[in-house]
Amino acid sequence: MSISRRDFNKLLVSGVAGSAFGLFGMTGTSFAAGGAKKHVVVVGGGFGGAATAKYLRKLDPSLAVTLIEPKAAYVTCPFSNWVLGGLKTMKDITHTYAALHAKHGVNVIADRVVAVDPAKGTVKLSGGKTIGYDRLVVSPGIDFKFDAIPGYSQKIAESKIPHAWQAGPQTLLLQRQLHAMKNGGTVVICPPDNPFRCPPGPYERASLVAHYLKANKPKSKIIILDAKEKFSKQGLFTKGWERLYPGMIEWRSATGGGKVLKLDADKMTLETDLGAVKGDVINIIPAQKAGKIAFDAGLTNEKGWCPINPSSFESTIHKGIHIVGDACVAGAMPKSGFAASSQGKVAAAAIVNLLRGQEPAPPSLVNTCYSLIGPKYGVSVAGVYQLSATGIVDIPGSGGLTPADASDDQLEQEALFAEGWYTNICKDIWG
C-alpha cells in the first residue's frame, strides 16, 4: 500500500487510521453465540492493553474481557513533557477506566498480576485471586535497568534523581525540582542507548524544559549527556533549538563526553570520559527492559524483551499469550503509545480469529510520533509497517519526517496536529 505523508497525517488526525489501513481482516459474526463465553484477560491498562481490551469487545461483543490494572487512573507519558513545559496539567493527561467498563463492557479489576501459569491458563492477582483465561494479553510496558549506571538506584530515582519515564509521581518530582531550581542552574538529561520507550522523548523533554526555563529562569542551561551517537529527528530538533533556545541546550554524543560512567548522587555529579558534569537537576533515563511480569511469566528473551509472532502478537515462547506495546519485539516499530495501540488492535483481531479457529489476517501497522519543540513548533515522524520474512518492516516510501525546510506555518500546524492526535488516541483507547 502506498500513501502520501499528507494523506497519512490526515488519517491520523481524524483518528481513523486503524480502520483505514484495514487492520481488521475478519467477519463481524459472533463466534460464541449460543456457546460458553470465551474469556480474554488483559494485563496492563496502558496504550497497548487498554486498546486491546476495548477492541476485543468492539470486534466481538460476545467475548468476556477482563482488564487487570493496579492504578485507578492512567497518566500518559505522551504530553507529560508538555506538563514539564507548563503547557498542560497532570489532570489533562490522566484517564480513568470508567468508560471502558460502562460503555464497552470490559470487566476492570484494580489489582496487579503476580504470576502467570501458561500450562493451566491462569493468572494470579496480588489480592490472592486466580483467574482463568482462554487467551491472555500482556502489555506491562517497561522496567528499568537501575544498575546500568553505578551509583544510581531505584531509591535514588524515587527521591532525588527522577527518570520521569513512567508518568505520575515521577513527573511531579521532576517538575518540583525544575520549579525550585535557581535562575542560572544546570539541568542534565541523560538518555539511554537504543532500544527504549519513545526515541524522540528525551529531546522533546529538553525542548519543553528549555521553554519553561526561557520564560522563568533564562540564565539556566541544559546539557544532554547521551549514550548514543545520534538520535531521532536530530536535524529537526537541532534546528528548533537554535531557533527557539539559542545557546541554552548542549547535546554531547556518547563519544563526545556524553556517556555517563558513574553517578555521585550526594554531589549531584556525573562522571564521563571527558570529566565530571554537575547538575542542579539531573534526569537520568535508565536503560530499559520489558515490565517485570513478562520476566516472571517466562516471556522474555536474552535481551529482556518479548519475542512474538508479528501476525498475531502471540508469544513465540508460550502459546495462548499475546504481548503488545513496549514489552514486545516489534521489528522496525518504535516503542511508542501509538505503536502499542496499533499492535493492540492487530492482536485483538487476531485473537478473535484464533478463537474462531481461523488464521489471523495479515496486519498493517502504523505509528506516528509528534514532538513539540515550542508551543507553536511541532515536528513529527510517521511510519506504516507490514510483515516480511524477517518480521515487521517499514513499507518503503510510506510515512516520513517533517521536511527540514518546513515553513513556520507548517511547524505551527504540526503542533496543532499533535494536540489533535492526543485527543483522538486517548478517546480511542479510554473513551
Binding site for ligand FAD (CB under 6 A): 43-49, 68-71, 74, 77-78, 80-81, 112-113, 139-141, 165, 197-198, 201, 205, 291, 293, 325-327, 335-338, 340, 369-370
The least CB distance from residue 335 to ligand FAD, in Å, is 5
Query: Where is 378: in which H helix or E strand?
Result: strand 377-388
The least CB distance from residue 121 to ligand FAD, in Å, is 17
The least CB distance from residue 337 to ligand FAD, in Å, is 3
The least CB distance from residue 216 to ligand FAD, in Å, is 20
How far apart, in whole angstroms, are the C-alpha atoms of residue 42 and residue 414? 34
CB nearer ligand FAD, residue 43 or residue 213: 43
The least CB distance from residue 124 to ligand FAD, in Å, is 10
Q: Find all residues with CB under 8 Å of 128, minimum gap 6, and list them.
A: none
- Long-range contacts of 243-246, Cβ-Cβ distance < 8 Å, separation of 24 or more: 243/377, 244/207, 244/210, 244/211, 244/214, 244/373, 244/374, 244/377, 245/207, 245/210, 245/211, 245/214
CB nearer ligand FAD, residue 17 or residue 43: 43
CB nearer ligand FAD, residue 111 or residue 280: 111
CB nearer ligand FAD, residue 149 or residue 198: 198
Q: Find all residues with CB under 8 Å of 189, minimum gap 6, and list them.
A: 202, 205, 206, 209, 222, 223, 224, 225, 283, 285
The least CB distance from residue 264 to ligand FAD, in Å, is 25
Q: What string of DSSP letters covers 186-228?
A: EEEEE--PSS-S-TTHHHHHHHHHHHHHHHH-TT-EEEEE-SS
The least CB distance from residue 52 to ligand FAD, in Å, is 9
Q: Find all residues with CB under 8 Å of 297, minimum gap 6, and list them.
A: 115, 116, 118, 138, 318, 321
CB nearer ligand FAD, residue 370 or residue 417: 370
How far apart, in whole angstroms, are the C-alpha atoms of residue 8 and residue 205? 26
The least CB distance from residue 113 to ligand FAD, in Å, is 4
CB nearer ligand FAD, residue 272 or residue 313: 313
How far apart, in whole angstroms, are the C-alpha atoms of residue 352 and residue 134? 11
How far apart, in whole angstroms, are the C-alpha atoms of residue 209 and residue 175? 9
Residue 13: alpha-carbon gap to chain centroid = 18
Would you give the DSSP letter of residue 117? E
CB nearer ligand FAD, residue 272 or residue 392: 392
CB nearer ligand FAD, residue 92 or residue 273: 92
Which residue has the CB atom at the shortest distance from ligand FAD?
Answer: 46
